[in-house]
Structures are given as C-alpha cells and as structure tokens.
C-alpha cells in the first residue's frame, strides 16, 4: 500500500471513530455479538485460510477461530462493564469519579502465527471501547486478514440497517510490511499501537511510538520454560511438554522452549519424551492424522537446522530434527549442559532444550535467566513448590501456570509478558483499560470553592 492510500485509510478511521464514539457501549457490543455469530457460521472458512497461510493443522486452526469467537463473547459482556471508581473527596460537597472514554484510532499489527485470534483480542475490545481499528496483518497471512475483514463487513451489512453500513469502516486493513508498520508507529493519528511479533520488531517500533508520546502495547518474543520437579506427575508433564513444544510446530509465542528437570526424574522423562516424539505424525497439515505441520517457510526451517548444528558443535545430544521434506522438520529435543546464548535465543521452531537442576531455587534462577518473560510453568504436586513459583521469588513472567504447559492460554486472563516480551497485556481481565482514556473527574456540587490540600488562597 502506498503512502497516499495509507493516509486515506487513517483519515477515514479518524472520521468514522467520531461517529462510533457517540454510540452507547452496549450498542457497540451488539455489533460484536452479531460478528461473533458470523464467525461461528464462518469458522471453517477462516480456519481454512489459517491452514493455508499459517500452515496449522485443522484442530488448531479451528481452535484459533474459537479464540476469536470467545473474544466476541467476552467483549459483549465487557460493553456493559466499562466502569471506573467513585472516590471519596477530601473536600465537602465534592465527588471524584473515573470516567473512561474512547481513545480514537487503534493500530493493530499481527504476526503470521496467530493471524486471526490476536487481531480479535485487539479488535473486539477496541470496538466496544469506542475506537476504530486499522489492522496490518502479516503479509504471510493475507488470506486470513481478508477472510476476517469479509466476515466483519458481512456482519455489519447483513444484519444492521443501512445507516450502520458505514461502520464496516471501523475495521480497515493496511496492506504492507515493515515500511507500513513504521508509518503506523510514527502516526500521531493512531492513539494506541498494539504490536505482536518478534522482539526485534517491537524494539524497532517502540522508540518511534514513544518519540511522539503515543501509547504502545507490545506482545513480543517468548522463551518459555517448564520446571519438572521430583514431585511432578510425569505422565501429565509429558502431555503438557509435547503440546507445548511441538503444537503449532513450535511457532507460538507461548511455545515451550526450555525444560528444566529435576535430576532424579531426568532420565525417566527423557525416555518418555523420546518415545512420544518418535511417534509424532509430522507432515502435510491438511492431512487429518498430522499433528505437526510444516514451518512457515524455508528460512524458518533453515534457522531451526542451523540452531541444531550449533547445539551439536557444543557437544549437546540432539534427538530428532530430521528434515521430512522442504520446510517440514521433525521436532527436536536437545540435551543442553548449560543455558548458553543459544538456549537463551528464541528460535521460532520446535526445538526443546533440556537442562537439569538439583534444587528449586536453582531451577527458578535458570528459568528467569533469559531476556524474555512471557509464559512459564511448573509441574509439581507439592503445594510449597507450586506457590513459590507463583510468588515474588518465583517466575518473572506474565503467564505462570501450575501443572499446565505454557501455551494455550484462555482469553479471560490478561495475556502478555515482561522484559523483552514488551510488558503489554491483551485480551481479558482489565486489559480494556489500555484501549480507553481515563479521565479523573472532580465535581463540586456546593456553593463554595474549597481548594485541595487545604490551601488558603486569599481567603
């Protein structure tokens, strides 16, 4: 998309938001309710686009659209709950109130791996909050962006009366890549930029947004770990590990990348994992029996193979990692002897590094000693270990799970992470507050004008 077309898109987003912000929030929610129903009807259409673009297996593609539908339901409820506090004033006949108003235009940048759900986290909340959305989806997932936009347009024009048709422009698509992302980052007409993708991308965009004092919300790389304690239910852990590490071919920001295992259960766990990995159906993501499809492209497969080569050079034992064909690669387990730079790097592929520990403090230290801070988990049936992991001295991540793998979060909680992950929180809980402007309103209903802090000013 050229700059001129881009400018028209943003100007239209500004214009339509001015109308949308006057519609009561529960009525805005009605549009999202209808959209959710359209997505329910179109679940297979959008899922197919996800299978095509992101190369997901059917179950995961449908799961992703379900996540978007869940977001619609959440946002409909939210549309009646955008409330602030009423605070006791220190002055007589005064009242303090928090009022939430729309922000304006929300820019949304999404990655190839969750091309529908992550957009929906932002879109559904932004809509009920009274904003318009300008969406730059991944150039690798064009079919998904188009099918979501079509579902949105249909929801608006097939259900609502003609005067509402214009609200299809509440969602507009920016076609492009890095250059267009930079336009969005620099654009003062965009009040909030919500960007999901690599840490590299986030670190390039965030200073540009900050330079204009814009709001940014970042959901970037993860290097998610799991501690498997001597008190763990090992079979449960194996299921959590396999889905976490090889699901979506290891291309979730929440994928399991590091396994930190108590020395007393290390051998038994490795044996079970090797056999689980050996029986994984890897291949064409359109085939029903496949659980692990291809990587997104050859570049990604090459990066995986190069990381495995480096691991071998370091003397680590590598299980799996054979090329099936093209960019389809069998998931790999790497028995690493230390958490070196390679282990600290997020290779967006199904590589699971395994490390050993002897006491929990050491395991937590290893766990937290990476630049990223998205998702984390511990498998243990010991309450002290579990609670320690969630406490101040435990995991430093935004997502902390007990007896669940690091991926597959529900939309009801706030999603995001710390450190190089960017600090943003999307989807559930009170993440909506980032999509609104909070006004602290003070009302004087008396006949005098007392000053705060008891200041006498000419009295």
Binding site for ligand UN1 (CB under 6 A): 67, 113-114, 118, 196, 252-254, 407-409
Closest approach, Cβ 254 to ligand UN1, in A, equals 4
Query: Out of 72, 129, 148, 253, which one is annotated catalytic?
Result: 253
Query: Judged by CB, which is closer to ligand UN1: 107, or 130?
Result: 107
Can you tell me the distance from the alpha carbon of 302 to that of 198, in angstroms, rounded to the nearest whole number?
Answer: 18
Closest approach, Cβ 427 to ligand UN1, in A, equals 8
Query: Out of 60, 67, 219, 426, which one is annotated catalytic?
Result: 219
Which residues does 39 contact at the CB level (< 8 Å), separation at least 6? 46, 65, 68, 69, 72, 151
Closest approach, Cβ 21 to ligand UN1, in A, equals 29
Q: Provide the 10 A C-beta neighbour count for residue 58.
A: 18
Query: Judged by CB, which is closer to ligand UN1: 104, or 398?
Result: 398
Query: Judged by CB, which is closer to ligand UN1: 17, or 122?
Result: 122
Query: Judged by CB, which is closer to ligand UN1: 283, or 428?
Result: 428
The verdict on whether 124 is a catalytic residue reads: no
Closest approach, Cβ 113 to ligand UN1, in A, equals 5
86, 110, 115: which is closest to 98 by C-alpha?
A: 86
Closest approach, Cβ 110 to ligand UN1, in A, equals 8
Closest approach, Cβ 222 to ligand UN1, in A, equals 8
Q: For residue 387, give Cα distances in angstroms to 240, 244, 379.
A: 19, 22, 12
Query: Judged by CB, which is closer to ligand UN1: 20, or 114?
Result: 114
Query: Judged by CB, which is closer to ligand UN1: 253, or 292?
Result: 253
The verdict on whether 162 is a catalytic residue reads: no
SS (H, E, C) the chain: CCHHHHHHHHHHHHHHHHHHCCCCHHHHHHHHHHHHHHHHHCHHHHHHHHHHHCCCCHHHHHHHHHHHHHHHHHHHHHCCCCCCCEEECCCCCEEEEEEEEECCEEEEECCCCCCCHHHHHHHHHHHHCCCEEEEECCHHHHHHHHHHHHHHHHHHHHHCCHHHHHHHHHEEECCCCHHHHHHHHHCCCEEEEEEECCHHHHHHHHHHHHHCCCEEEEECCCCEEEEECCCCCHHHHHHHHHHHHHHHHHCCCCCEEEEEEECCCHHHHHHHHHHHHHCCCECCCCCCCCCECCCCCHHHHHHHHHHHHHHHHCCCEEEECCEEECCEECCEEEECCCCCHHHHCCCCCCEEEEEEECCHHHHHHHHHCCCEECEEEEECCCHHHHHHHHCCCCCCCCEEEECCCCCCCCCCCEECCEECCCCCCEECCCHHHHHEEEEEEEEECCCCCCCHHHCCCCC
Closest approach, Cβ 120 to ligand UN1, in A, equals 11
Closest approach, Cβ 439 to ligand UN1, in A, equals 32
Closest approach, Cβ 431 to ligand UN1, in A, equals 14
Query: Judged by CB, which is closer to ligand UN1: 16, or 118?
Result: 118
Which residues does 194 contact at the CB level (< 8 Å), separation at least 6? 106, 107, 108, 109, 122, 216, 217, 218, 219, 424, 426
Query: Judged by CB, which is closer to ligand UN1: 208, or 252?
Result: 252
Which residues does 432 contact at the CB level (< 8 Å), separation at least 6? 78, 82, 125, 128, 129
Query: Judged by CB, which is closer to ligand UN1: 220, or 386?
Result: 220
Give the active site residues.
219, 253
């Amino acid at each position: 998309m050229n700059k001129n077309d881009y400018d028209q898109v943003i100007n239209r987003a500004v214009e339509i938001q001015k109308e949308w912000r006057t519609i009561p929030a529960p009525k805005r929610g009605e549009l999202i309710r209808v959209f959710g129903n359209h997505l329910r009807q179109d679940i297979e259409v959008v899922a197919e686009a996800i299978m095509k673009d992101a190369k997901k297996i059917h179950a995961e593609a449908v799961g992703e659209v379900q996540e978007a539908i869940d977001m619609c339901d959440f946002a409909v409820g939210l549309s009646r709950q955008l409330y602030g506090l009423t605070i006791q004033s220190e002055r007589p006949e005064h009242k303090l109130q928090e009022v939430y108003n729309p922000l304006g235009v929300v820019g949304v940048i999404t990655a190839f791996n969750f091309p529908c759900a992550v957009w929906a986290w932002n879109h559904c909340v932004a809509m009920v909050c009274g904003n318009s959305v300008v969406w730059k989806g991944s150039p690798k997932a064009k079919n998904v962006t188009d099918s979501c936009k079509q579902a949105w347009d249909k929801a608006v024009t097939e259900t609502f009366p003609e005067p509402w048709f214009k609200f299809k422009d509440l969602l507009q698509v920016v076609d492009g890549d890095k250059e267009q992302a930079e336009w969005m980052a620099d654009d003062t007409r965009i009040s909030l930029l919500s960007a999901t993708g690599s840490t590299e991308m986030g670190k390039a965009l965030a200073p540009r947004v900050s330079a204009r004092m814009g709001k940014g919300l970042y959901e970037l790389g993860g290097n998610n770990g799991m501690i498997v304690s001597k008190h763990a239910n090992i079979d449960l852990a194996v299921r959590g590990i396999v889905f976490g590490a090889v699901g979506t071919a290891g291309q979730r920001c929440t994928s399991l990348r590091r396994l930190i295992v108590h020395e007393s259960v290390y051998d038994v766990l490795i044996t079970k994992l090797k056999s689980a990995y050996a029986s994984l159906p890897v291949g064409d993501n359109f085939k029903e029996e496949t659980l692990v499809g291809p990587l997104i492209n050859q570049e990604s497969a090459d990066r995986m193979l190069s990381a495995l080569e480096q691991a071998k050079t370091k003397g680590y034992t590598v299980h799996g990692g054979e090329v099936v064909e093209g960019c389809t690669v069998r998931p790999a387990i790497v028995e690493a002897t230390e958490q070196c730079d390679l282990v600290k790097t997020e290779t967006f592929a199904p590589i699971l590094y395994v490390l050993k520990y002897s006491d929990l403090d050491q395991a937590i230290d290893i766990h937290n000693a990476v630049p990223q801070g998205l998702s984390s988990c511990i498998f243990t049936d010991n309450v002290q270990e579990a609670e320690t992991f969630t406490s101040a001295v435990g995991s430093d991540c935004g997502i902390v799970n007990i007896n669940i793998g690091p991926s597959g979060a529900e939309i009801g909680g706030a999603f995001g992470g710390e450190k190089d992950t960017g600090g943003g929180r999307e989807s559930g809980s009170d993440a909506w507050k980032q999509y609104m402007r909070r006004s602290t309103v003070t009302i004087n209903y008396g006949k005098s004008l007392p000053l705060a802090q008891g200041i006498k000013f000419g009295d």
